[in-house]
Amino acid sequence: MQPRSDQHAGLAYGIAAYTMWGLLPLYWHLLDGAAPSEILAHRMLWSLPVAVVLLAVLRRWSWTGPLLRQPRRLGLIVVSTLVISANWFLYIWAVNSGHVLEASLGYFINPLVSIAFGVLVLRERLRPLQWTAVAVGALAVVVMTVAYGRIPWIALALAFSFATYGLVKKGIKLDGIEGFSAETALQLLPALGFLVFLGLRGESAFVSGGVGQALLLSGCGVATAVPLICFGAAAVRLPLTMIGMLQYLAPTFQFVLGLTVFDEAMPPERWAGFALVWLALAVLTWDALRTTRRARTALAEAAARAGETAAAGETAAAGVAQAAGTAPATEAADASAPAPQAAEEPAAPPAPGLTQ
């Protein structure tokens, strides 16, 4: 069990990570003088130096050799890099094109899509309340489609691309910093080539936008890495259920920004769709909390039964020894029974937007 001070630190890190992810639209909006493709290229380019510094500080280079000798994992990293690059581009474009609310809807939907992928691809079995949550989320998409006369494709594309990214990452099996470093290493040359091409054509906002714009574009790597670092610090200090609840902070901040800062319209049909998604997430979170509570109760009961069995065994052993005319060994009587292994905590809904 984590010390209380450690959990407080983890909570602070988690809130910081999801708050920064939730406020990223403000950062991308400051860069609206540059094309989304150039912003994406700078995000790719400047993320790698940050990743290298992190690896140097942590001295975590041992994973690179084995990875280079495993073509299948390298292929999966290529796929994950392509998927997350598409996700990044669409998110930046959505923010700078006035679709912040629909982008936030995508990250609200993401946990439901990830659960559906678990069933369809990984053949996982869902509990009844999880099925209910997925069904309500699907109903929300139907309501918005009928009301608007079009599918909310931005939200769905963001949700499905990030869920696909999470699915591929399960096969790669690299920690956050290592995976981030491998992906940004693959992104470097295409990003650099594209930025050189823009510069030669005289279309580079980095060159023509002034010092402020250049600094903001080069800061994309820090804006990408710092929330990830905070999330990693939170993940090792907090239970999964708490991480699962914190994950909704990011799209909530995006939703509030869309309403207040970007003044996007929120007609009744959009409220209805969002309300259904929030209902689905409430059901999903309640089911995760209930399942966790049951697992902890079962663990406590198992520990109590093991203690009673051990005590009974020690009493019986003492009786046998006494009957044989020997004194029972006090040390054996006082020895504590081995504690049962801790049960694995049920996974909370997957965290959306870890690399928004």
Residue among 316, 17, 290, 314 at smallest CA distance from 130: 290
% of the chain exceeding 70 in pLDDT: 85
- Say what the pLDDT of residue 154 is: 93
Residue at token pair 């903001």: 216
Secondary structure of 279-306 in the HEC alphabet?
HHHHHHHHHHHHHHHHHHHHHHHHHHHH
Q: Which CA distances in Å does 304 have to 309, 313, 344? A: 9, 14, 18
- Reported as a single tens digit per residue, the pLDDT across 85-125 is 999 999 999 999 999 999 999 988 888 888 888 878 877 78
- Reported as a single tens digit per residue, the pLDDT across 178-194 is 888 899 999 999 999 99
Rounded mean pLDDT of 54-69?
87
Residue 8: which pLDDT band, with cuts at 50, 70 and 90? confident
DSSP assignment letter at 34: S
DSSP assignment letter at 31: T
Query: At 186, which amino acid appears?
Result: L
Output the furthest CA–CA distance in the chain (Å, rounded): 99
Q: Regarding predicted confidence, which is higher, 240 or 122?
A: 122
Please determine, for residue 338, whether its predicted confidence score (pLDDT) is greater than 60.
no
CA 81/CA 187 separation, integer angstroms: 7
CA 261/CA 182 separation, integer angstroms: 35
Residue 346: which pLDDT band, with cuts at 50, 70 and 90? very low
Rounded mean pLDDT of 320-347?
50
- Say what the pLDDT of residue 336 is: 47
Please determine, for residue 353, whether its predicted confidence score (pLDDT) is greater than 60.
no
Provide the Cα torsion 203, 208, 212, 213; round to 10°: -10
- Say what the pLDDT of residue 332 is: 45
- Say what the pLDDT of residue 319 is: 66
Residue 3: which pLDDT band, with cuts at 50, 70 and 90? low
- Say what the pLDDT of residue 188 is: 93
CA 348/CA 285 separation, integer angstroms: 8
Please determine, for residue 137, whether its predicted confidence score (pLDDT) is greater than 60.
yes
CA 233/CA 238 separation, integer angstroms: 9
Helix residue spans in 201-267 (DSSP H): 205-208, 210-218, 220-235, 240-246, 249-260
